[in-house]
Chain A
Amino acid sequence: MSETIIETQGLSRRFGSLIAVRDVSLSVKRGEIFGVLGPNGAGKSTTIRMLCGILDPSGGSGRVVGFDIATQAERIKERIGYMTQRFSLYEDLSVVENLLFYAGIYGVPRSKRRARVDQVLERTGLGQRRKQIAGTLSGGWKQRVALASATIHEPPLLFLDEPTAGVDPVSRREFWEQIHGLAAEGTTVLLTTHYMDEAERCHRLAFIFRGQLLDVGTPEQIVQRRNLRALELELEQPRDAAELLRQQPEIDEVAHYGHVLRLTTRGGVDPEPFVRGVLESRGFTLKSCNVSRVSVEDAFVSMVREDEQQRAKAA
């Protein structure tokens, strides 16, 4: 299956003089878990809202589940599920009432509504709490109800806008298992996040920064394209060492992790001999030195830094 579910060309949106999204072109295939990454205010939510048809693009075009986002928004709305940042539930309604309401709104026939709601409650493990008032649930449970509401009509495409904000790690893990379950059944999932560990759970990623698409690909591709290498060191006086390392053009980033200093090198430079050379010539003694896996976070930070430096040069 390589059916395209989302396809955009040069999608842009401005609010007055602010350009929230600039020239975003991407395509998402059926059954993919597609993550949109970026810092706060990068334009992630604006992009999702345009794809859902609740915000008109000021430029470019896009097709979602086969319909044009500018002219056929209502057709799109029937075929998507959408979970907002705030898990917009009716806090004064019970879990089951919330689900019945959304089932009715999304046109699940009356005769099938109860069965469908029961089925969703079962799948999300909400059965025990069906009668509980939504406002009294904890963050993790609210998130489950929100996901259940968004999938009540079995949409082929699911939009999740920062679905795990304010949710504890265990709930997040369970949530991701559910997302993978849905994807395995053929549901396409597009979500935004700024948690880098979550980014690695996506099939493909798009990096958005200042409203622009910096890179698109699988987590592995994105990491490879940056051509970074990572190393973890333990040594005395880590702050002085970090200061020294940051001055080297081959070093992309140095960061403290407890007692460990973690660094990445650019352009495929082998980090261990390079770092040893730099540090030992200045009299630092390394207690340990281990090659580490390059993460999506490394790639992301590297991309944002490079973008900032280019901007600084241009200005």
Chain B
Amino acid sequence: MLTRPFVIAWKELLQLRRDRMTLAMMAVLPIVQLLLFGYAINTDVRHIPTVIYDQDHSAASRELQQSLRITGFYDLLGEVKSYAEIERALRSGKARAALVIPARYASNLRSGKAAQLQLVVDGSDPQTVGSAINTASGLIAQRSSELMLAKLARVGGGAGAALQPIALEPSTWYNPELRTAVYVVPGLIGVILTMTMVMLTAMAIARERERGTLEQLIVSPVRRLELVLGKILPYTVIGYVQMSLILLAGRVVFGVPLVGSLQLLYVLSFLFIAANLAIGLFFSTLAKTQQQAMQMSFFFLLPNILLSGFMFPFESMPRPAQFISQGLPLTHFLRIVRGITLKGATFPDVSQELVWLGAIFCALVLLTSLRFTKKLV
């Protein structure tokens, strides 16, 4: 009987239509999350508030301050007069970094001796530390090689000495401006789909159990597969609507590009959506009430956000975390969706992720059908 899944899907949609709250949540949630994550998550470190302890007060030291400011990484808040003041500024959070220029900076430079600068950084936020140190050392290395070359030119006057011995020219592909939104928005499709798909299906069965209608369904001739299909069908459609909404909004608001094939993305997303629905269904076999189903869904969401590579790079996670991460459908979907939207990946590029998704899906279906029986108790 092919009609039963459709009868169930029709009923689900009718119920959904009357459930204004859930309906609104499904439409508004993706947009709110998109704006929230798109604007708020910004891993580019810029505008580090910095104080200067200039003990030299020379033209050279002022020049150094100037070149620091120009990078855009440091907001120079002004000068301090002692280490105690530096400590106060860092502790109060007014400044995150402090540059100490020693008293004999200019004269040392002139006489060709090494000048020792000091950069004090607030280590309570490791992300700032890295950027602050990297930018500063880059800047200083450049300054010193300039000075060195100038000295060489003065001393030797040789023509070839004007060249640096080694030069690295970095070239960033796919997201040349390194905008976080470009990276976050496609990932957000995965996060939001995980959240809504798992929760909706988990609640859909738990609700029937809670209200006693599940017993009525169990006693009917509906087959397990028909029930599962009927429950999954409407939510798959909702999943696609959400996905389209985020893609569109991401494009309009954040200018997220779509390099690869949209069709391929839609086709491959099916397995991801199905895997999430299967997880929801599995939760619903464990949950006795809608509240429990909701709690399980949230509990499941956390590792997805933290371990999937959505917020932190997969490669830098410790091994056990990577191991867990491989079992999450989101991990693999993120690679697919980022690959297609940002890099124009084609089917062969993402086929490995697809195998993973397929394997996870099959395992879940097996697990769920073992748990879900048309019997009471």
Which residues on A are within 8 Å of B, measured CB to CB?
15, 49, 52-56, 73-74, 77-78, 80, 82, 84, 86, 88-93, 97, 101-102, 104-107, 110, 133, 149
Contacts and interface: CB of A to CB of B under 8 A. Distances in A.
B15 interface: yes
Contacts of A92: 15, 18-19
A88 B215 contact: yes
Contacts of A53: 219
23 contacts: A49-B376, A53-B219, A54-B219, A54-B376, A77-B220, A80-B219, A84-B219, A89-B213, A92-B15, A92-B18, A92-B19, A93-B14, A93-B15, A101-B10, A104-B3, A104-B7, A104-B10, A105-B7, A105-B220, A105-B221, A106-B221, A110-B3, A149-B216
B218 interface: yes
Given A52-B219, A55-B375, A73-B374, 8 more contacts: A80-B219, A84-B215, A84-B216, A84-B219, A93-B18, A97-B11, A104-B10, A105-B217
Contact of B213 (A74, A90, A104): A90
Interface residues of B, number: 28
Interface in B12-63: 14-15, 18-19
A89 B18 CA distance: 15
Contacts of B15: 90, 92-93
B377 A82 contact: no
Contacts of A77: 219-221
B7 A54 contact: no
Contact of B11 (A15, A49, A74, A101): A101
B375 A54 contact: yes
Interface of B: 1, 3-4, 6-8, 10-11, 14-15, 18-19, 211-213, 215-223, 374-377
The 7 closest A-B pairs by CB, nearest first: A104-B7, A88-B212, A88-B216, A78-B221, A82-B219, A86-B212, A88-B213
Nearest to B222: A105
A133 B18 CA distance: 10
A261 B374 CA distance: 51
Nearest to A80: B219
B321 to A, nearest CB: 41
B221 A107 contact: yes
B215 A54 contact: yes
Nearest to B11: A101
A56 B375 contact: yes
A79 to B, nearest CB: 9
Contacts of A88: 211-213, 215-216
A105 B221 CA distance: 7
Contacts of B374: 54, 73-74
B221 A54 contact: no
A110 B11 CA distance: 15
A82 B216 contact: yes
Given A54-B218, A54-B219, A90-B15, A107 B1 contact: yes
Contacts of A84: 212, 215-216, 219
B209 to A, nearest CB: 11
B13 to A, nearest CB: 11
Contacts of B4: 104-105, 107
Contacts of B376: 49, 54-55
B211 A91 contact: yes
Contacts of B222: 105
A77 B220 CA distance: 5
A1 B202 CA distance: 48
A77 B221 CA distance: 5
Nearest to B216: A88
A53 to B, nearest CB: 8
Contacts of B216: 82, 84, 88, 149
A93 B207 CA distance: 14
A73 B215 CA distance: 14
B21 to A, nearest CB: 12
Contacts of B221: 74, 77-78, 105-107
B289 to A, nearest CB: 15
A55 B377 contact: yes
B11 to A, nearest CB: 5
A18 B4 CA distance: 38
Contacts of B217: 105
A105 B1 CA distance: 10
Nearest to A83: B216
Contacts of B213: 88-90
A13 B352 CA distance: 50
Contacts of A97: 11, 14
Contacts of A104: 3-4, 6-7, 10
**By CB atoms of chain B within 10 A, which of A55, A82, A84, A90 has the most?**
A90
